[in-house]
Structure formats: structure tokens, C-alpha cells
């Protein structure tokens, strides 16, 4: 039996996608599967999304798109982030992966790839509407649009989309969203004036599906919500939004021992037993994605795991490969007992969002950090592989 496993409920992902498609109305939904599907397993999640009728997948890196192609995915994929000279760009053009364009250099590389492969490259123009990361700045957009129009007239590219990304899409009533939407609208007008007429306009993300329906346009890109975590607690918990967490992280007790009062635990002796008690060793650590900041003593609340329906505090410093829990109970569980770190809560465990709130991060980071040393196991609604 394995020391730990991340169980991914693909039926939960399907259910979440069904909800998000309903909320998106007439807009298409892009399932974002970058970063190994936020730690859930890119290939398996992509197949689930395709089976649910999702026409578009989103990835950050060209290499991620090519990995999907190697696994037989022949549908529409958009990749949006690379550095100059990435050899995978040519392969993406050859294999009809849509690519995002934010600058003249990116367009030039795509044109070179299109010429060499004799394949029309499909592009989406990304506009920086205020997030100030990737995307062409508005003042530079006219020049890029002219270059795009010339390339399209030459037959080397097809303009499939124009898009941007929200800074506060998960925040209701955020002033920045209206500002970015206004800039996006101006970009659409400018594109039309320069003879560039993309088929798809997309601005919204997971949070905006709930908070800003006016950002739907032709397509919305859903990431964290399809995995059953809240885009932001300002919107509510995942449960209140109707989402089901797809990943459950389960380990097994590797050691149980009785300790005397005053016994110190783990590196730095940051926690010691206040009375005679028992502690258990959980054989996963920060190399597996467990936040080092989870160990007690720490500000309330203490991070807790669930064992046989009861919750126990994580104590002492989380190490690279292991951490310790305080088995403060008369009925001490034995070696090999399941330890539920996070999941949908069916075993009394916290959610990944609960972990995130406790250690001062976001649910995205908790699930994405679950490392490759922990095997993924895929289950359906019946709970069977």
C-alpha cells in the first residue's frame, strides 16, 4: 500500500464543469489545464473535459500543449506563454495549437514557424488591459494590429481570438474590472478599425463567472473552479458556490509513539508536549507540497488533519519528507491508518481552501504544489478507480 495518494474525482470535475457552463450562458467554456491541471493530472483532466463537451483547453506553455497532442488530443488548445527562441512554437504551429500574441517578436516567431511548416498559424491577440503582465500595451496595439493584418492577408496566420486577463475578476464590485472591460472594449473597436476581426473575444475567468457576468463575451476561461475550489473567499466557499473539490490528499500513519510531558518535536523544538500524550508520523512533507508553515506553534487556527473522523493538530516543523500530528485522544490510531489531509470533507478533513486560509495563501497553491512523489489515483462517482 502507498504511503500517500492524491485521489482525483473526475466526476467532481465533470459536475463542476456542468455548473460553470450553465453559469456561462451562451459563452463557450475553456477548461484551463496548465500546470498539470493544477496538480490534478493534465491528460486525465483534459480527457474528462473533452468527454464533457468542452471544445477548448488552455495551457500556459507550448510544451504542455504538445504533451496533450502526444496523448492524442486533437481539439482546440490555446497556449500563451513562452520566451524568445522556444523551439516548441514551430511544433505548435505544425500541430495546429493556437498561440497567443502579445508582441511583435512573438508574431515574428510564429510567422517564421508558419512559413517553414507551410501551415496557417492560429493566433489570439492578448491585450494588457490593466493586469500589467503579458499582453500588448494599448498604446502599442495599433502597430501590432497592422502587423497582424498584413500577416493575415499574406495567408500565414488566422486571427482566432482577442483576449485579456482580469486582475480582480474574483472580487465582486471591483472597480478594476470595469476599467479593464472598458479598455478591452476600446481594443475591440481598434481591432475592427484596423481590419482585424477575430472570431472569439474572451476576458472572463473562474471568478468572473460568478461575480462579473458582463465579462463573458464569447468564451470564459475556467481554471480553479473546475477543480472545485473557490476563486476567492470574497465570493464564498466552494460549497456555497456549488463546487465540489476534486482532489483528496490521503497519507498513512508511518509511526505512532507515546511521549512524556515536555518532549520536543521536530526541527528547532518549536513544539513540545504539555502532558503525556501520543504523536503520529505522517510520511509527506514540503517536498511533496505540504506547506512548511503548517506546523505548530503558529497563529490560530492550528492546521488539522482527519483520522478516523476526528481532527488532530499538525505540530512541530514540517520537514522535507514528513510531519507530526498530535494524537490527543484516548483511542490512539495505529500505524497504517489513513490520514486525510484535505478533500471535500467527507471524512472530516479540511478542504484545500481551509489549508490555504490557515497558512496565508490560496487554494490554487495548495493543490498545484502536490508533488510528483505522490501518485495520482483517478476515481469516478462510485469512488472506484
**Would you name the residues annotated as active-site residues?**
34, 267
Q: Kindly report whether the peptide bond that precedes residue 301 is cis, defined as omega within 30 degrees of 0.
A: yes
Strand-pairing partners, residue 124, are 100, 161
Please say whether the beta carbons of 303 and 293 come within 8 A: no
Q: Buried (b) or exposed (e) across 271-290, using 16+ Cβ within 10 A?
A: bebeeebbbbbbbbbbebbb
How many CB atoms within 10 Å of residue 76?
A: 18
Task: Output the CA–CA distances (angstroms, integers) from residue 279 to 283, 321, 330, 348, 355, in the order listed.
Answer: 13, 17, 12, 19, 21
Look at residue 144 and give its three-state secondary structure: helix
Can you tell me the distance from the alpha carbon of 314 to that of 193, in angstroms, rounded to the nearest whole number? 60
Please say whether the beta carbons of 41 and 8 come within 8 A: yes
Please say whether the beta carbons of 249 and 370 come within 8 A: yes
How many CA atoms, within 13 angstroms, populate the side-chain half-sphere of residue 105?
A: 7
Can you tell me the distance from the alpha carbon of 229 to that of 197, in angstroms, rounded to the nearest whole number? 35
Amino acid at each position: 500500500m502507498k504511503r500517500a495518494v492524491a485521489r482525483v474525482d473526475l466526476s467532481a470535475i465533470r459536475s463542476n464543469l456542468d455548473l460553470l457552463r450553465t453559469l456561462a450562458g451562451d459563452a463557450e467554456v475553456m477548461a484551463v489545464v496548465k500546470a498539470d491541471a493544477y496538480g490534478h493530472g493534465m491528460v486525465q483532466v483534459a480527457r474528462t473535459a473533452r468527454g464533457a463537451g468542452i471544445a477548448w483547453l488552455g495551457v500556459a506553455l507550448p510544451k504542455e500543449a504538445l504533451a496533450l497532442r502526444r496523448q492524442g488530443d486533437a481539439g482546440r488548445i490555446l497556449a500563451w506563454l513562452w520566451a524568445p527562441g522556444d523551439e516548441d512554437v514551430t511544433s505548435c504551429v505544425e500541430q495546429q495549437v493556437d498561440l497567443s500574441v502579445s508582441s511583435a517578436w512573438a508574431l515574428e516567431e510564429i510567422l517564421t514557424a508558419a512559413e517553414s511548416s507551410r501551415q496557417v498559424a492560429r493566433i489570439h491577440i492578448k491585450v494588457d488591459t490593466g493586469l500589467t503582465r503579458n499582453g500588448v500595451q494599448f498604446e502599442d496595439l495599433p502597430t501590432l494590429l497592422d502587423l497582424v493584418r498584413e500577416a493575415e492577408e499574406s495567408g500565414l496566420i488566422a486571427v482566432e481570438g482577442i483576449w485579456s486577463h482580469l486582475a480582480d475578476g474574483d472580487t465582486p464590485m471591483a472597480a478594476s474590472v470595469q476599467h479593464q472591460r472598458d479598455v478591452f472594449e476600446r481594443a475591440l473597436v481598434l481591432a475592427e478599425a484596423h481590419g482585424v476581426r477575430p472570431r472569439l473575444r474572451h476576458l472572463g475567468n473562474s471568478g468572473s463567472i460568478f461575480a462579473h457576468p458582463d465579462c463573458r463575451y464569447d468564451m470564459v476561461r475556467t481554471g480553479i473552479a473546475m477543480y472545485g475550489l473557490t476563486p476567492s473567499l470574497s465570493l464564498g466557499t466552494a460549497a456555497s458556490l456549488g463546487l465540489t473539490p476534486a482532489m483528496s490528499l490521503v497519507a498513512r500513519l508511518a509511526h505512532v509513539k507515546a511521549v512524556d510531558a515536555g518532549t520536543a518535536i521536530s526541527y528547532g523544538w518549536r513544539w513540545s508536549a504539555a502532558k503525556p500524550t501520543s504523536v503520529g508520523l505522517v510520511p509527506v512533507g514540503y517536498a511533496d507540497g505540504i506547506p512548511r508553515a503548517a506546523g505548530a506553534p503558529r497563529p490560530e487556527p492550528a492546521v488539522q488533519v482527519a483520522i478516523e473522523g476526528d481532527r488532530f493538530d499538525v505540530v512541530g516543523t514540517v520537514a522535507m519528507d514528513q510531519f507530526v500530528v498530535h494524537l490527543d485522544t484516548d483511542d490512539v490510531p495505529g500505524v497504517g491508518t489513513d490520514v486525510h489531509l484535505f478533500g471535500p470533507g467527507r471524512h472530516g478533513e479540511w478542504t484545500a481552501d481551509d489549508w490555504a486560509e490557515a497558512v496565508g495563501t490560496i487554494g490554487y497553491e495548495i493543490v498545484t504544489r502536490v508533488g510528483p512523489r505522490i501518485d495520482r489515483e483517478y476515481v469516478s462517482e462510485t469512488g472506484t478507480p
